[in-house]
Structure 1
Protein backbone atom coordinates (compact mmCIF):
# COMPACT_ATOMS: atom_id res chain seq x y z
CA UNK A 1 0.00 0.00 0.00
CA UNK A 2 1.11 3.56 -0.81
CA UNK A 3 0.21 7.05 0.34
CA UNK A 4 0.80 9.98 -2.02
CA UNK A 5 0.92 13.68 -1.27
CA UNK A 6 0.03 15.44 -4.52
CA UNK A 7 0.10 19.27 -4.67
CA UNK A 8 -2.34 20.44 -7.34
CA UNK A 9 -2.50 23.62 -9.38
CA UNK A 10 -5.93 25.25 -8.89
CA UNK A 11 -5.40 27.27 -12.09
CA UNK A 12 -5.15 24.12 -14.21
CA UNK A 13 -8.09 23.72 -16.58
CA UNK A 14 -8.04 19.94 -16.09
CA UNK A 15 -8.07 20.30 -12.30
CA UNK A 16 -10.92 22.83 -12.39
CA UNK A 17 -12.92 20.35 -14.50
CA UNK A 18 -12.31 17.63 -11.92
CA UNK A 19 -13.01 19.98 -9.01
CA UNK A 20 -16.46 20.74 -10.45
CA UNK A 21 -17.29 17.07 -11.11
CA UNK A 22 -16.19 14.58 -8.47
CA UNK A 23 -16.84 11.68 -10.84
CA UNK A 24 -14.28 13.14 -13.26
CA UNK A 25 -11.85 13.45 -10.34
CA UNK A 26 -12.30 9.77 -9.59
CA UNK A 27 -11.62 8.85 -13.21
CA UNK A 28 -8.52 11.06 -13.38
CA UNK A 29 -7.05 9.40 -10.30
CA UNK A 30 -7.87 5.86 -11.44
CA UNK A 31 -6.11 6.52 -14.76
CA UNK A 32 -2.79 6.87 -12.89
CA UNK A 33 -2.72 3.12 -12.14
CA UNK A 34 -2.46 -0.10 -14.17
CA UNK A 35 -5.74 -1.62 -15.32
CA UNK A 36 -7.46 -4.00 -12.92
CA UNK A 37 -7.90 -7.68 -13.83
CA UNK A 38 -11.03 -8.53 -15.80
CA UNK A 39 -14.27 -8.77 -13.82
CA UNK A 40 -12.71 -6.98 -10.82
CA UNK A 41 -14.03 -3.49 -9.90
CA UNK A 42 -11.12 -1.12 -10.55
CA UNK A 43 -11.45 1.01 -7.39
CA UNK A 44 -11.85 -2.00 -5.13
CA UNK A 45 -8.84 -3.69 -6.72
CA UNK A 46 -6.73 -0.57 -6.25
CA UNK A 47 -8.27 0.23 -2.83
CA UNK A 48 -8.17 3.83 -3.97
CA UNK A 49 -8.99 6.44 -1.34
CA UNK A 50 -8.37 10.17 -1.58
CA UNK A 51 -8.95 13.47 0.18
CA UNK A 52 -8.49 17.07 -0.97
CA UNK A 53 -7.20 19.55 1.60
CA UNK A 54 -6.37 23.25 1.67
CA UNK A 55 -7.89 26.33 0.10
CA UNK A 56 -7.10 29.02 -2.42
CA UNK A 57 -3.83 28.27 -4.22
CA UNK A 58 -2.62 25.82 -1.55
CA UNK A 59 -4.40 22.59 -2.45
CA UNK A 60 -3.05 19.11 -1.76
CA UNK A 61 -4.49 15.74 -2.68
CA UNK A 62 -3.78 12.77 -0.41
CA UNK A 63 -4.20 9.50 -2.28
CA UNK A 64 -3.92 5.98 -0.88
CA UNK A 65 -3.56 3.04 -3.25
CA UNK A 66 -2.60 -0.60 -3.53
CA UNK A 67 -0.09 0.00 -6.32
CA UNK A 68 2.48 2.71 -6.97
CA UNK A 69 0.90 5.57 -8.98
CA UNK A 70 2.26 7.40 -12.02
CA UNK A 71 1.65 11.04 -11.16
CA UNK A 72 3.86 12.14 -14.04
CA UNK A 73 1.06 11.10 -16.39
CA UNK A 74 -1.34 13.74 -15.07
CA UNK A 75 -2.40 16.39 -17.63
CA UNK A 76 0.15 19.14 -18.20
CA UNK A 77 -0.08 21.84 -15.55
CA UNK A 78 -2.14 19.70 -13.15
CA UNK A 79 0.60 19.36 -10.53
CA UNK A 80 1.38 22.34 -8.33
CA UNK A 81 4.64 20.83 -7.10
CA UNK A 82 6.44 17.55 -6.65
CA UNK A 83 4.26 14.56 -5.81
CA UNK A 84 5.64 12.45 -2.94
CA UNK A 85 4.87 8.75 -2.56
CA UNK A 86 5.71 6.62 0.47
CA UNK A 87 4.94 3.12 1.66
CA UNK A 88 2.07 2.74 4.11
CA UNK A 89 3.75 -0.27 5.73
CA UNK A 90 5.33 1.65 8.67
CA UNK A 91 1.87 2.94 9.60
CA UNK A 92 0.31 -0.52 9.36
CA UNK A 93 3.14 -1.96 11.47
CA UNK A 94 2.52 0.67 14.17
CA UNK A 95 -1.04 -0.58 14.66
CA UNK A 96 -0.99 -2.66 17.82
CA UNK A 97 -3.52 -3.34 20.56
CA UNK A 98 -4.23 -0.20 22.61
CA UNK A 99 -2.00 1.96 20.39
CA UNK A 100 -3.15 5.60 20.37
CA UNK A 101 -3.12 7.94 17.39
CA UNK A 102 -4.21 11.36 16.28
CA UNK A 103 -6.39 10.92 13.23
CA UNK A 104 -8.10 12.75 10.40
CA UNK A 105 -11.02 11.30 8.48
CA UNK A 106 -13.21 12.95 5.85
CA UNK A 107 -16.34 10.83 5.77
CA UNK A 108 -19.92 10.73 4.50
CA UNK A 109 -22.06 10.01 7.60
CA UNK A 110 -25.50 8.77 6.57
CA UNK A 111 -28.56 7.14 8.06
CA UNK A 112 -31.22 4.93 6.55
CA UNK A 113 -34.71 6.44 6.31
CA UNK A 114 -37.44 3.86 5.81
CA UNK A 115 -40.29 4.64 3.37
CA UNK A 116 -43.90 4.64 4.59
CA UNK A 117 -45.34 1.11 4.98
CA UNK A 118 -46.77 -0.16 1.69
CA UNK A 119 -47.48 -3.77 2.45
CA UNK A 120 -43.99 -5.06 1.68
CA UNK A 121 -42.39 -7.30 4.27
CA UNK A 122 -38.95 -5.69 4.03
CA UNK A 123 -39.14 -2.07 2.86
CA UNK A 124 -35.80 -0.69 1.65
CA UNK A 125 -34.52 2.50 3.23
CA UNK A 126 -33.03 5.56 1.56
CA UNK A 127 -29.64 6.85 2.66
CA UNK A 128 -29.73 10.43 3.95
CA UNK A 129 -26.77 12.55 5.14
CA UNK A 130 -26.39 13.29 8.85
CA UNK A 131 -25.88 17.02 9.44
CA UNK A 132 -26.10 17.31 13.24
CA UNK A 133 -22.51 17.37 14.68
CA UNK A 134 -23.47 15.30 17.75
CA UNK A 135 -25.10 12.66 15.58
CA UNK A 136 -22.07 12.70 13.28
CA UNK A 137 -19.84 11.87 16.25
CA UNK A 138 -22.24 9.11 17.29
CA UNK A 139 -21.97 7.74 13.74
CA UNK A 140 -18.17 7.74 14.09
CA UNK A 141 -18.38 5.92 17.43
CA UNK A 142 -20.43 3.19 15.76
CA UNK A 143 -17.88 2.97 12.96
CA UNK A 144 -15.20 2.47 15.61
CA UNK A 145 -17.12 -0.44 17.10
CA UNK A 146 -17.16 -2.06 13.65
CA UNK A 147 -13.60 -1.22 12.66
CA UNK A 148 -11.55 -1.82 15.79
CA UNK A 149 -11.06 1.59 17.42
CA UNK A 150 -12.54 3.80 20.14
CA UNK A 151 -12.44 7.57 20.47
CA UNK A 152 -10.40 8.82 23.41
CA UNK A 153 -11.94 11.25 25.89
CA UNK A 154 -11.05 14.91 26.28
CA UNK A 155 -10.50 16.60 29.66
CA UNK A 156 -14.28 17.21 29.82
CA UNK A 157 -15.09 13.53 29.40
CA UNK A 158 -16.49 14.00 25.90
CA UNK A 159 -15.10 12.23 22.81
CA UNK A 160 -11.85 14.00 21.86
CA UNK A 161 -12.88 14.83 18.31
CA UNK A 162 -14.13 17.80 16.32
CA UNK A 163 -16.40 17.50 13.29
CA UNK A 164 -15.99 20.19 10.63
CA UNK A 165 -18.55 20.29 7.79
CA UNK A 166 -17.33 20.54 4.20
CA UNK A 167 -19.07 21.99 1.18
CA UNK A 168 -21.06 19.32 -0.67
CA UNK A 169 -19.46 18.11 -3.89
CA UNK A 170 -21.30 17.07 -7.02
CA UNK A 171 -20.59 14.83 -9.96
CA UNK A 172 -22.31 13.31 -12.97
CA UNK A 173 -22.15 9.76 -14.25
CA UNK A 174 -23.95 7.81 -16.93
CA UNK A 175 -27.34 6.53 -15.80
CA UNK A 176 -28.53 3.09 -16.93
CA UNK A 177 -30.01 3.27 -20.44
CA UNK A 178 -33.77 3.57 -20.74
CA UNK A 179 -36.29 3.83 -23.53
CA UNK A 180 -35.55 7.51 -24.09
CA UNK A 181 -31.77 7.01 -24.41
CA UNK A 182 -28.88 7.66 -22.07
CA UNK A 183 -28.94 10.34 -19.40
CA UNK A 184 -26.58 11.61 -16.71
CA UNK A 185 -27.16 10.91 -13.04
CA UNK A 186 -26.24 13.68 -10.59
CA UNK A 187 -24.23 12.69 -7.51
CA UNK A 188 -24.21 14.91 -4.41
CA UNK A 189 -21.92 14.01 -1.52
CA UNK A 190 -22.15 15.72 1.87
CA UNK A 191 -19.09 15.15 4.04
CA UNK A 192 -17.47 16.13 7.32
CA UNK A 193 -13.84 16.09 8.43
CA UNK A 194 -13.17 14.54 11.83
CA UNK A 195 -9.98 15.47 13.71
CA UNK A 196 -9.33 13.73 17.01
CA UNK A 197 -7.66 10.95 18.97
CA UNK A 198 -8.37 7.24 19.03
CA UNK A 199 -7.22 3.98 20.61
CA UNK A 200 -6.95 0.71 18.71
CA UNK A 201 -9.18 -2.03 20.15
CA UNK A 202 -8.86 -4.66 17.40
CA UNK A 203 -5.62 -4.36 15.39
CA UNK A 204 -6.70 -6.68 12.57
CA UNK A 205 -10.02 -4.92 12.02
CA UNK A 206 -8.34 -1.52 12.27
CA UNK A 207 -5.68 -2.37 9.68
CA UNK A 208 -8.43 -3.53 7.34
CA UNK A 209 -10.24 -0.20 7.82
CA UNK A 210 -7.03 1.73 7.13
CA UNK A 211 -6.61 -0.08 3.83
CA UNK A 212 -10.25 -0.19 2.69
CA UNK A 213 -11.62 3.06 4.11
CA UNK A 214 -14.53 3.97 6.37
CA UNK A 215 -18.09 4.78 5.38
CA UNK A 216 -19.67 5.49 2.01
CA UNK A 217 -18.69 7.58 -1.05
CA UNK A 218 -15.13 6.21 -1.07
CA UNK A 219 -14.76 6.95 -4.78
CA UNK A 220 -15.66 10.59 -4.15
CA UNK A 221 -13.16 11.85 -1.58
CA UNK A 222 -14.41 10.11 1.56
CA UNK A 223 -13.15 7.27 3.74
CA UNK A 224 -9.38 7.91 3.93
CA UNK A 225 -8.22 7.56 7.55
CA UNK A 226 -4.88 9.32 8.24
CA UNK A 227 -2.86 8.72 11.42
CA UNK A 228 -0.15 10.57 13.33
CA UNK A 229 1.55 9.97 16.71
CA UNK A 230 -0.94 10.71 19.47
CA UNK A 231 -1.05 14.13 21.08
CA UNK A 232 -3.87 15.91 22.84
CA UNK A 233 -6.28 18.00 20.72
CA UNK A 234 -7.02 21.16 22.67
Structure 2
Protein backbone atom coordinates (compact mmCIF):
# COMPACT_ATOMS: atom_id res chain seq x y z
CA UNK A 1 0.00 0.00 0.00
CA UNK A 2 1.39 3.39 -1.01
CA UNK A 3 2.03 6.00 1.68
CA UNK A 4 1.40 9.56 0.57
CA UNK A 5 2.81 12.85 1.82
CA UNK A 6 0.71 15.90 0.97
CA UNK A 7 1.51 19.56 1.43
CA UNK A 8 -1.62 21.66 1.71
CA UNK A 9 -0.97 25.36 1.08
CA UNK A 10 -3.93 27.46 2.27
CA UNK A 11 -5.20 30.29 0.12
CA UNK A 12 -4.48 33.54 2.04
CA UNK A 13 -7.71 34.95 0.58
CA UNK A 14 -9.83 32.15 2.05
CA UNK A 15 -11.43 33.25 5.30
CA UNK A 16 -12.32 29.63 6.08
CA UNK A 17 -8.69 28.52 5.69
CA UNK A 18 -7.37 31.33 7.84
CA UNK A 19 -9.94 30.58 10.54
CA UNK A 20 -8.94 26.90 10.56
CA UNK A 21 -5.25 27.78 10.94
CA UNK A 22 -5.41 30.17 13.88
CA UNK A 23 -6.27 30.02 17.58
CA UNK A 24 -5.99 27.40 20.34
CA UNK A 25 -8.59 25.17 18.68
CA UNK A 26 -6.58 24.87 15.46
CA UNK A 27 -5.84 21.17 15.86
CA UNK A 28 -9.50 20.37 16.46
CA UNK A 29 -10.76 22.29 13.43
CA UNK A 30 -8.02 20.90 11.20
CA UNK A 31 -8.93 17.32 12.13
CA UNK A 32 -12.33 17.85 10.53
CA UNK A 33 -10.86 19.58 7.47
CA UNK A 34 -8.18 16.95 6.93
CA UNK A 35 -10.64 14.08 7.14
CA UNK A 36 -12.75 15.79 4.48
CA UNK A 37 -9.97 14.88 2.04
CA UNK A 38 -10.81 11.17 2.40
CA UNK A 39 -13.82 8.88 1.84
CA UNK A 40 -16.69 8.55 4.32
CA UNK A 41 -18.18 5.41 5.90
CA UNK A 42 -14.89 3.78 6.92
CA UNK A 43 -15.93 2.69 10.40
CA UNK A 44 -15.46 4.11 13.89
CA UNK A 45 -11.85 5.33 13.44
CA UNK A 46 -11.25 6.34 9.81
CA UNK A 47 -8.13 8.34 10.72
CA UNK A 48 -6.34 5.25 12.01
CA UNK A 49 -7.69 3.05 9.21
CA UNK A 50 -6.26 5.39 6.57
CA UNK A 51 -3.07 6.12 8.51
CA UNK A 52 -3.79 9.86 8.52
CA UNK A 53 -1.32 12.03 10.42
CA UNK A 54 -0.79 15.76 10.01
CA UNK A 55 1.28 18.66 11.26
CA UNK A 56 0.98 22.41 10.89
CA UNK A 57 4.25 23.93 9.70
CA UNK A 58 5.26 27.59 9.96
CA UNK A 59 7.00 28.70 6.76
CA UNK A 60 8.19 32.07 5.38
CA UNK A 61 5.05 32.01 3.21
CA UNK A 62 2.75 31.36 6.15
CA UNK A 63 1.38 28.14 7.68
CA UNK A 64 1.32 24.99 5.56
CA UNK A 65 -0.18 21.64 6.46
CA UNK A 66 1.72 18.37 6.02
CA UNK A 67 -0.53 15.32 5.75
CA UNK A 68 0.61 11.69 5.64
CA UNK A 69 -1.86 9.00 4.63
CA UNK A 70 -2.29 5.59 3.05
CA UNK A 71 -5.01 6.88 0.75
CA UNK A 72 -4.36 9.66 -1.76
CA UNK A 73 -6.30 12.77 -0.69
CA UNK A 74 -8.44 14.93 -2.95
CA UNK A 75 -9.50 18.58 -2.84
CA UNK A 76 -13.03 17.81 -4.08
CA UNK A 77 -14.74 18.13 -0.70
CA UNK A 78 -12.97 21.23 0.58
CA UNK A 79 -14.46 24.72 0.16
CA UNK A 80 -13.77 26.34 -3.20
CA UNK A 81 -10.42 28.14 -3.35
CA UNK A 82 -9.54 26.85 0.13
CA UNK A 83 -6.02 25.59 -0.68
CA UNK A 84 -3.75 23.86 -3.16
CA UNK A 85 -2.38 20.33 -2.71
CA UNK A 86 0.94 18.80 -3.71
CA UNK A 87 1.12 15.05 -3.15
CA UNK A 88 3.97 12.57 -3.57
CA UNK A 89 4.54 8.93 -2.55
CA UNK A 90 6.87 8.16 0.36
CA UNK A 91 7.57 4.57 -0.63
CA UNK A 92 11.08 5.21 -1.97
CA UNK A 93 12.10 6.94 1.26
CA UNK A 94 10.65 4.17 3.43
CA UNK A 95 12.23 1.42 1.32
CA UNK A 96 15.66 3.10 1.62
CA UNK A 97 15.79 2.94 5.43
CA UNK A 98 19.04 1.23 6.39
CA UNK A 99 20.89 0.67 9.70
CA UNK A 100 23.55 3.30 10.32
CA UNK A 101 22.00 5.92 8.08
CA UNK A 102 21.85 9.43 9.56
CA UNK A 103 18.60 11.38 9.35
CA UNK A 104 17.18 14.77 10.19
CA UNK A 105 13.86 14.42 12.01
CA UNK A 106 10.96 16.57 13.14
CA UNK A 107 7.92 15.67 15.21
CA UNK A 108 5.28 17.66 17.07
CA UNK A 109 4.20 15.42 19.92
CA UNK A 110 2.18 15.52 23.14
CA UNK A 111 4.54 14.17 25.86
CA UNK A 112 2.75 12.71 28.87
CA UNK A 113 3.15 10.22 31.66
CA UNK A 114 0.46 8.10 33.29
CA UNK A 115 1.07 7.78 37.05
CA UNK A 116 0.01 4.63 38.83
CA UNK A 117 -3.07 4.63 41.04
CA UNK A 118 -1.07 4.94 44.28
CA UNK A 119 0.99 7.86 42.95
CA UNK A 120 -2.15 9.62 41.75
CA UNK A 121 -3.77 9.20 45.15
CA UNK A 122 -0.68 10.31 47.08
CA UNK A 123 -0.02 13.44 45.01
CA UNK A 124 -3.59 14.07 43.83
CA UNK A 125 -2.59 13.79 40.18
CA UNK A 126 -4.83 13.34 37.14
CA UNK A 127 -4.63 10.06 35.16
CA UNK A 128 -2.52 11.76 32.47
CA UNK A 129 0.15 14.35 33.29
CA UNK A 130 1.55 16.61 30.53
CA UNK A 131 5.33 16.87 30.43
CA UNK A 132 7.51 19.87 29.63
CA UNK A 133 11.15 20.91 29.76
CA UNK A 134 13.64 18.21 30.74
CA UNK A 135 10.86 15.69 31.40
CA UNK A 136 9.56 16.14 27.84
CA UNK A 137 13.09 15.74 26.44
CA UNK A 138 13.56 12.50 28.39
CA UNK A 139 10.20 11.26 27.10
CA UNK A 140 11.26 12.03 23.53
CA UNK A 141 14.57 10.21 23.84
CA UNK A 142 12.70 7.11 25.02
CA UNK A 143 10.34 7.38 22.06
CA UNK A 144 13.18 7.59 19.55
CA UNK A 145 14.84 4.49 20.96
CA UNK A 146 11.55 2.58 20.72
CA UNK A 147 11.27 3.85 17.14
CA UNK A 148 14.59 2.31 16.11
CA UNK A 149 16.65 5.49 16.27
CA UNK A 150 19.67 6.66 18.25
CA UNK A 151 19.53 10.47 18.53
CA UNK A 152 22.78 12.36 17.94
CA UNK A 153 21.30 15.84 18.44
CA UNK A 154 17.92 17.09 19.58
CA UNK A 155 16.21 20.39 20.26
CA UNK A 156 12.77 20.91 21.77
CA UNK A 157 10.42 23.86 21.32
CA UNK A 158 7.26 24.24 23.45
CA UNK A 159 4.15 25.02 21.38
CA UNK A 160 0.69 26.27 22.25
CA UNK A 161 -1.59 23.77 23.95
CA UNK A 162 -4.52 22.48 21.90
CA UNK A 163 -7.76 23.34 23.71
CA UNK A 164 -11.39 23.11 22.78
CA UNK A 165 -14.41 20.90 22.43
CA UNK A 166 -14.11 17.61 20.63
CA UNK A 167 -16.09 17.52 17.36
CA UNK A 168 -18.49 14.72 16.51
CA UNK A 169 -18.37 12.85 13.21
CA UNK A 170 -20.21 15.72 11.51
CA UNK A 171 -17.73 18.33 12.73
CA UNK A 172 -20.11 19.72 15.36
CA UNK A 173 -18.82 20.41 18.86
CA UNK A 174 -19.98 18.18 21.70
CA UNK A 175 -19.48 18.55 25.45
CA UNK A 176 -16.18 16.65 25.65
CA UNK A 177 -13.37 19.13 26.24
CA UNK A 178 -9.86 18.23 25.17
CA UNK A 179 -6.46 19.61 26.13
CA UNK A 180 -3.15 18.48 24.65
CA UNK A 181 0.19 20.09 25.50
CA UNK A 182 2.60 20.06 22.54
CA UNK A 183 6.35 20.14 21.99
CA UNK A 184 8.21 20.17 18.67
CA UNK A 185 11.30 17.98 18.54
CA UNK A 186 13.99 18.52 15.89
CA UNK A 187 17.40 16.94 15.48
CA UNK A 188 19.48 14.21 13.90
CA UNK A 189 19.57 10.49 14.59
CA UNK A 190 21.06 7.24 13.34
CA UNK A 191 18.84 4.35 12.26
CA UNK A 192 19.28 1.23 14.40
CA UNK A 193 16.13 -0.72 13.42
CA UNK A 194 14.57 0.10 10.01
CA UNK A 195 11.48 -2.07 10.63
CA UNK A 196 10.65 -0.27 13.88
CA UNK A 197 11.28 3.09 12.29
CA UNK A 198 8.99 2.33 9.36
CA UNK A 199 6.25 1.21 11.77
CA UNK A 200 6.62 4.41 13.79
CA UNK A 201 6.50 6.64 10.71
CA UNK A 202 3.32 4.94 9.51
CA UNK A 203 1.57 4.92 12.91
CA UNK A 204 2.86 8.08 14.60
CA UNK A 205 4.14 8.81 18.09
CA UNK A 206 2.22 9.45 21.28
CA UNK A 207 -1.23 10.92 21.84
CA UNK A 208 -3.44 13.46 20.05
CA UNK A 209 -2.74 12.10 16.56
CA UNK A 210 -6.19 13.26 15.45
CA UNK A 211 -5.28 16.84 16.37
CA UNK A 212 -1.94 17.36 14.64
CA UNK A 213 0.50 15.45 16.86
CA UNK A 214 2.61 12.37 16.23
CA UNK A 215 3.75 12.77 12.60
CA UNK A 216 7.45 11.86 12.44
CA UNK A 217 9.15 13.39 9.39
CA UNK A 218 12.60 12.26 8.31
CA UNK A 219 15.06 13.39 5.65
CA UNK A 220 18.42 11.78 4.82
CA UNK A 221 21.06 14.09 6.29
CA UNK A 222 23.22 14.14 3.14
CA UNK A 223 20.26 15.43 1.10
CA UNK A 224 19.69 18.52 3.25
CA UNK A 225 23.12 20.18 3.24
Compute the TM-score of the two structures, normalised by the length of structure 2. Answer: 0.84
Q: CA deviation at 1:144?
A: 1.8
Rg larger for: 1
1:1-234 → structure 2 map (5 Å cutoff): 1-19=3-21, 20=23, 21=25, 22-35=27-40, 37-38=42-43, 41-54=45-58, 58-79=62-83, 82-113=84-115, 114-116=119-121, 126-132=127-133, 134-152=134-152, 160-173=153-166, 184-230=175-221
Cα distance in 1, alignment partners of residues 13 and 112 from structure 2: 33
Cα distance in 1, alignment partners of residues 65 and 97 from structure 2: 24
Aligned twin of 1:157: none
* 1:10/1:59 contact within 8 Å kept: no
CA offsets, 1:87-126, max 9 Å, x none?
0101101211122101111111111234216xxxxxx961
Greater share of residues in strand: 2
Cα distance in 2, alignment partners of residues 5 and 174 from structure 1: 24
RMSD: 2.6
Q: 1:125 to 1:204 in 2, by over 3 A?
A: farther
Q: 1:174 to 1:161 in 2, by over 3 A?
A: closer
Partner SS for 2:121: coil
Aligned residues between the structures: 211
Q: 1:72 to 1:162 in 2, by over 3 A?
A: same
Q: 1:54 to 1:7 in 2, by over 3 A?
A: same
Compute the TM-score of the two structures, normalised by the length of structure 1. Answer: 0.81
* 2:207/2:213 contact within 8 Å kept: yes
Structure 2 portions without partners, runs of 5+: none
Cα distance in 1, alignment partners of residues 81 and 61 from structure 2: 14
Q: 1:227 to 1:17 in 2, by over 3 A?
A: same
Q: CA deviation at 1:140?
A: 1.1
Q: 1:3 to 1:204 in 2, by over 3 A?
A: same
